[in-house]
Structure 1
Amino acid sequence: MATTFARLGSYNAFDTATRNLTTRQNTLSSLQEHITAGKRVLRPSDDPTAAAQAERAQTRIARVDTDQRALAMQKNSITEAESTLGEANDAMQAFREKLVAAGNGAYNATDRNSIVQELTSLREQIFTYSNRTDSNGIPLFSGLGSAAPPFVDATTGVQYAAIPGQRPNGEVSVTPTLDGEAAWMSVPTGNGVFAVDFGAANTGTAWSDLGQVTNPSAVTGNNYSIQFSVNAAGVTTYDVTNTTTGTAVATGQPYTSGQAIAFDGMSMVIKGAPKTGDSFAVTPSVKTDVFAVLDKAIAGLKNAGPNVGTLTHGITQALTQIDAGMTRLQASRGLAGDLLNRVDRVDASQQTRAVQLEGDRSRAEDLDMIKALSDQANQQTGYQAALQSYAQIQKLSLFNYLS
């Protein structure tokens, strides 16, 4: 029977044991490094796939953080715009109340001049609101963009120097500015369909309300003139003429104060006592601006003089125009409120996304501490056993038995 012999040199045994100890020591050292950092992946070589996933998640987290900072700035701008519109609306209300007070029959010219000064101050204050800027110096009502003040107070009236329109909202952003033209420059004259204007040469005490549409299909959109005549017997009549076509609509109609005058789908109530030659112009409604409304109200009060009809008509028309202007400001304020609600929704969505991305990053590179500590304890035990075994084997040698 053949016998098999194996040779195992002492040096080879010692070298193998040393390599095993070094490997265990390196493994334990690497495990301690990962535990200290709390990371399963410290470098791409640890797990290339997980490292790439963690990097992508970290990049997206940084993008979300950037978007959130930009969204916070946009929110601040819209909040400032909403607050400014509220202040402007309050100033408009104060203007309206003082204008109503100016119609008090007990006031004289001096009293009304004092009110005119107050109204002028309020008008300048409201104009200041229109050019207010955010913390970065960007006008709040610059529409599609303008670094310069969007409103210019020229001798011919206030002009909108910016680009009208509303910037579109992004998936994770909102427009930081509002359309100034829509907020301040889109006030319809009259009742929104037609306007009744007081004749410049009127000397009587007649004045008109805003009128109303009685038959929309009959409204022509033409210009009309209502002319009054008073005969020797004191009977007042009126003629209605379509000044666009030059045709008579009504002739010699008896006038009664407070009775509606109706023609071509429109109706208006004129009160007071007109004189021969007094007239009212009925024109299609056009677009004006808040500042023109305020300027016209101030001018009407300043130039009314002792004519009660002029004063009453001017105040009546101005109050309605002011109400229309306040409606436009409120509409823009409502839009600002909608944008702030959108900011809250986007912010909540982005926070949820950030949490999800942080979870993706954590799953890719973070260390399971409980498992890692258990592995460390096992590695330490194994390393200690290997050291003890090596120490015992190292003492064994053939020379220990030769003697």
Structure 2
Amino acid sequence: MRLSFNMKFNAGLDGILNTQQKMNRAQDQLTKQTRILTPADDPAASAKVLGLDQNLEQVEQFQNNSVLLKNNLALEETVLTNMRTSIDRARVLAIASGNGAYTDSDKQAVAQELKNIQVELLDLMNTRNAEGGYIFSGYQDKTQSYTFNAATGIYEFQGDDGQKALQISPTIALPGNDSGKSVFENVDARLKTTPAAIVSGGATAATVSVTNQSRFDTFYKQTYDSLTPANNDFNVVLTAPSNYEIQRNGASLVPPVTGTFVPDSPIQFNGLTIEISGAAAVPGQVDFSLQPPEKKNILTTIGEFITALEDPTLSIFEFGEAISDTLTQVTSASSKIDSTLSTIGGRVNVLDSVFGTNEDLTINNKSYRADLAEVDYAAAITEITKQEIALEAISATFTKVSGVSLFDYIR
């Protein structure tokens, strides 16, 4: 076989280029810290690495969501805790205002402090998060949660009942906020009756007051008829010589509620105390009704009590009713906040647990990925050294071989 100069030259050049390519590949593996530079290097491992990379990116996003979610919940928890403190102070002031020794100026001082508490609560209920959104406005977080309607004297909720949830795992999404509609609006006002009305007879005065709220609440929930309003009307019928019967919408109760009527002597009925004055009240009739249930936010409740404190014309009975309304509604608002704080705590516990699980998954996935794709530094350095030596040897051989010709033998 005839060996030409070009054949010898090309064979030597190919050896140098192949060796240099192997050395460059080893250097790339070392630089990029992976033994899989292209899918062709290890198709099976390459597919697994791609899946692991996607999973790691997904878990990283879940962890970022968890951090954001925890910050939002921490902000809401702080706001609600501060509100709870202010509401407790309002409760103390309401109880203190029932002191019979309080003068009108004392009540004015209490009213002024309650106004400050009201302003503070309004500010807290309109709290914004780091993105500038109102945390209690639901999905409408660019809309201020609460505004004052001067025409009605009521603080109105402007948001909706939405909760923005963030995904913290493939199957778990937790809300990062609570709507003011559920926390502040869905609060039951005090259940009570309408004022007593003298329908007939010679009674000079009549009052109906709730003296046992829990017992009356139970009776109310069992009795109130939202479909037939007339069934919420009750009558105290006084008959000669000195008897009374309490009827519902003109019909006797089962069993009948009857007794001996004594003017100014209280009649007890399911948590209610009924007092009728006047010796000529018999025969006669006094009516009252169960008021429809209401929802009131704490701002409106405090506003109504401030109005009562600043009204010196209220009777002792009317002012006492205002205090009872305030205390009942403040208790309901406090319970609602406590319940919300409890749900926040539950969410944080789940969040911490899932966050820890995601961290463990990240560690496991990175370890598996390293086993599949990470370069062995010792092997890579050895390969580079081996290829450098080979390259030097081939280069030296190429120089000598390419310099040989027929003229060397003629000489």
Partner Cα separation in structure 2 for residue 228 and residue 130 of structure 1: 48
Q: Are the counterparts in 2 of residues 71 and 174 from structure 1 also a CA contact under 8 Å?
A: no
- Matched residue, 2:338: 330
- Matched residue, 1:320: 328
What count of residue pairs does the alignment treat as equivalent? 383
Matched, 1:179 2:176: no
Partner Cα separation in structure 1 for residue 183 and residue 374 of structure 2: 53
Partner Cα separation in structure 1 for residue 291 and residue 179 of structure 2: 28
List aligned pairs for 1:43-192, cutoff 5 A.
Answer: 43=38, 46-47=41-42, 50-51=45-46, 53-154=48-149, 155-156=151-152, 157-167=154-164, 170=167, 172=169, 173-190=173-190
**Aligned mate of 1:268, from 254, 271, 285:** 271
| Structure 1 alignment gaps of length 5 or more | 1-5
Partner Cα separation in structure 1 for residue 235 and residue 107 of structure 2: 30
Partner Cα separation in structure 2 for residue 358 and residue 366 of structure 1: 10
Partner Cα separation in structure 1 for residue 197 and residue 179 of structure 2: 35
Matched, 1:219 2:223: yes
Go from structure 1 to structure 2 and tell me whether the alpha carbon gap of 1:294 and 1:34 turns closer, same or farther (over 3 Å shift). Answer: same
Q: Are the counterparts in 2 of residues 226 and 238 from structure 1 also a CA contact under 8 Å?
A: no
Partner Cα separation in structure 1 for residue 6 and residue 165 of structure 2: 79
Partner Cα separation in structure 2 for residue 76 and residue 162 of structure 1: 22
Q: Which deviates further from its counterpart, 279-288 or 105-114? A: 279-288
Partner Cα separation in structure 2 for residue 75 and residue 258 of structure 1: 59
**Aligned mate of 1:283, from 282, 291, 308:** 291
- Matched residue, 1:3: none
| Structure 2 alignment gaps of length 5 or more | 199-203, 226-230
Matched, 1:370 2:368: no
CA positional deviation for 1:218: 6.1
Partner Cα separation in structure 2 for residue 140 and residue 365 of structure 1: 45
Partner Cα separation in structure 1 for residue 364 and residue 29 of structure 2: 24
- Matched residue, 1:20: 15
Q: How high is the sequence identity, in percent, across the aligned residues?
A: 19
TM-score by length of 1: 0.76
Once the two structures are superposed, residues 302-353 of structure 1 have per-residue CA deviations (whole angstroms, 9 ceiling, x without a partner) of: 3364733333333233212210111112112222222323332333333334
Letter in 1 for 2:188: P
TM-score by length of 2: 0.75
Q: Are the counterparts in 2 of residues 195 and 282 from structure 1 also a CA contact under 8 Å?
A: yes
Q: Are the counterparts in 2 of residues 205 and 307 from structure 1 also a CA contact under 8 Å?
A: no
CA positional deviation for 1:113: 1.4
CA positional deviation for 1:280: 6.2
Partner Cα separation in structure 2 for residue 68 and residue 99 of structure 1: 46
SS in 2 for 1:174: strand
Partner Cα separation in structure 2 for residue 371 and residue 297 of structure 1: 82
SS in 2 for 1:188: coil
Partner Cα separation in structure 2 for residue 184 and residue 364 of structure 1: 55
Letter in 2 for 1:159: E
Q: Are the counterparts in 2 of residues 183 and 328 from structure 1 also a CA contact under 8 Å?
A: yes
Q: Which deviates further from its counterpart, 206-215 or 340-349? A: 206-215
Q: Are the counterparts in 1 of residues 183 and 336 from structure 2 also a CA contact under 8 Å?
A: yes
